[in-house]
Every structure is written in structure tokens, then in C-alpha cells.
Homo-oligomer: A and B are copies of this chain.
């Protein structure tokens, strides 16, 4: 189709922060770009937990990738699944071999999924949070728990339905845990007749000694204190040893009965990394050269959450949006250097800081030497996120809509799509409890 197009073909796999920034950095370059993503949208992942907690609409934090590149004529967007990458041949195949794409440069930015430490069977009972589908599944389970509890006539069952266990004390876990009490105590306040949503129990489990391990210790302590004030049962040094449909078991042997378990621990790089012929680190990330290209092929780059890169201090570059953006720009600039005949440079990560919110008016922030907490950190968080969101959407639209969604969240986006609540009322423990009740009859409402 493009046999006659003399421009180098840059193929980018993944339309997240890394891939999209790479495409945009090449906007005026004399190349043709094909960006391939399995979804049609770029996702503003830092706010994904707000979709999971029924505060924001999925469309509030997603934008069609092709819409973002609409004014960039050198870029074509293809929605497809990449299933095989052949580095020596410089080709990849889409959707079970239905088409083949040849490249001059390849940028792999296909991200990561959550990982279950060798227990993939836990996923069904403890969904993680990486995609919009993940967030909608979390939202569904979160909201269904209250619906099922309102119907339940057994106290033990009701208690398990109103227990939410979150595994992992990183930013995702902390943000999820901090949001639940706000919703149960405020947004749901008057809506139920038989249960009090405010009685919901939130348990945050972290295997390590403190929450938010990438933050300074003082901020970890503050986050823990803030969460406790919101009523969250925070347990550090508490590893999960099993997850099933009735709840979780922790290393001490304690069983926590909960119909709803959310997973915020551990990442596993996209399996495409395995096909690149380069060494991988422990979690499957591609160990790249200083310019972010493969040791075995300078025309192929791995960037974003799929890449294993060290900071100047020798610590891993974190899996956050600013790092992905920086790597995307760097890989694109390496290609520009090649086109101009100048030398590529080594990637250097610039840490813009770390931020995590706790509920609606508290946050912790570590920006260079500055450490913020409480309301001022929350305002900083709000400001930065509005600024970022505005970068890819109409500035006024996003501000008004988001402010509205956020301020008026009394109603929120409490929409359940999919199946009914019935499954939640029929776990292994429910059957056990039912057997324990002699001659049990169907409850009368």
C-alpha cells in the first residue's frame, strides 16, 4: 500500500503516555507513523481509580487516540492486537496473522498488567486496575456489594458483603482505600433502608513495612494516619497467602471474609517484551541500552512500563506517567538524531515528584525537597491533574465537567452494567453458612 512512500516507517505499539508522546514528538518529522493499540483510546490512568469508585465517567478520562492525532497527517492509527514481533525481519503481525506490518523503526510501549506473584488464579476474585474494563469491573463489584447487602437477611453474609479488602499499599491501594469511606458516608448516606453503608469496613493490606514505599518515610506515616482517621484498617507487614471467593488469608493465618477484594500490588510487563530478543528483568521488563533501544537492534525501542531503566541514583525509574512521557520523547528524539546524522544521547530520568490522594481533601506530595501533606497537597494534586487532563482535552470542558463531577458526587456515576447481584450472594462461604443453619428456608423479604 505504501510501497512507494519513501519516508521511514515508524511503528509504535501502544497509545499510552509513552507511545503517544513518541508519536507527537515526531509530528513534524519526515517519517510516516503507524500507531497500533488494542483499544481505541488513550487512558488518563492516574484517575482510573475514580472511575472504579463511581466518581468519574469512563469517557471523562479517555480520548480516542485518533482524535488526539487528528491534526498530525504523518500519523495513522490502527486498532488491533499485536500478536507476534519478529525483530530480525523487522515485521509484526496483527490479530492472529490477519495482517503484517513492516517497520524501519519500532517503538514498543505496550505497558504492564497487574501481577499476582505466581497466583494468576487469584485474579477472578481480586481484580486489578489497569484498563477501563478493569475499572468498570471494580465499579460493578463495589456497587453490587451494597445492593446484595441490602437484600441479605443473614448478618454474617451482610458483614462480608460490606467488607472491602485492598491488597497493596502503593498509590493505587491508598487512593482506593481513601475513596471508599467518602462514598459510603456521604454519597450513599440516605439510599439504603436495611444497611448503613457507613458501617462498611475497609482493610488495606501491605506486605512491606510501610505504605507508599517510594515516598519519604514521614509522608508514608502521614498517609497511614490519614487513612486511619477515615476508618481504614491499615495493616503493614501483612502478606496475603491466598485469595478465594470468600475473602483473603494473610500470613498469620487470619481469614478476612470479604465478598470484594481489589488488587493493587505488583506489575508484570506486557508479554510482547519476551519477543524482542533482549534480556528481561525479574518482572518481565526489557533491559534496554542507555538510549532506550534494544541491545540487539538500535532500530527497536522499548519505553514506558515495559522498559527496565535505572535512574542516575541506580534505582528503577518508576512506572508513572511523567517517566513514560519522558521516555516517549527520548525515543522519538533518537530517531530524529538518526535522520539528521547526529549522535543519540543517553536517557536521563527527571523526577517531577510523587503524589497520592487520601480521600477527597487530603494528599501527600513529595516534589524535590518539598514535602506537602493534608489539604495543601490535595490542592496541588487537583491542580496538577486538571492541568494534565487539560493537555489532551478542551481546557474549559474538562475543568467544568470535572469540577461538576467532583463537587456534586452525591449522585456520581453509580451505574451497574452487566449481571445482577445474585452471584455475590452465593459464594462458598454463603453455602457453608447456609448449611450451618438447620432446615433453612428461602428468606422472606
Contact = CB atoms under 8 A, between A and B. Distances in A.
Interface of A: 1, 34, 38-41, 57-60, 62-64, 66-67, 70-71, 73, 75-81, 93-102, 132-133, 136, 143-144, 147, 150-151, 153, 190-194, 393-394, 397, 400-401, 404, 408, 411-418, 420-422, 425-426, 442-445
Nearest to A36: B445
B100 A417 contact: no
A136 B71 CA distance: 28
8 contacts: A59-B415, A63-B411, A79-B144, A95-B422, A100-B444, A102-B444, A132-B417, A394-B411
Contact of A400 (B38, B75, B132, B400): B400
Contacts of A147: 40, 79
Nearest to A71: B190
Given A81-B422, A192-B66, A101 B445 contact: yes
Given A78-B151, A445-B78, A415 B99 contact: no
Enumerate the 10 nearest inter-chain pairs by beta-carbon distance, A residue then B residue, closest first.
A70-B190, A79-B147, A59-B413, A95-B422, A66-B191, A76-B193, A57-B57, A40-B416, A64-B414, A101-B445
Nearest to A73: B193
B400 A151 contact: no
Q: Which of A1, A194, A414, A426 has the most CB of B within 10 A?
A: A414
A70 to B, nearest CB: 4
B81 A420 contact: yes
Contact of A143 (B40, B192, B397): B40
Given A40-B414, A80-B422, 9 more contacts: A1-B153, A59-B413, A70-B191, A76-B150, A79-B147, A95-B422, A98-B426, A99-B151, A394-B411
Contacts of A400: 400, 404
Contacts of A191: 64, 66-67, 70, 77
Nearest to A81: B420
Interface centre among A62, A79, A150, by most chain B C-beta atoms within 10 angstroms, is A79
A64 B416 CA distance: 9
A346 B189 CA distance: 40
A34 B153 CA distance: 15
Nearest to A40: B416
B445 A100 contact: yes
Contact of A404 (B99, B150, B151, B397): B397
A99 B421 contact: no
Contacts of A192: 66
A439 B410 CA distance: 61
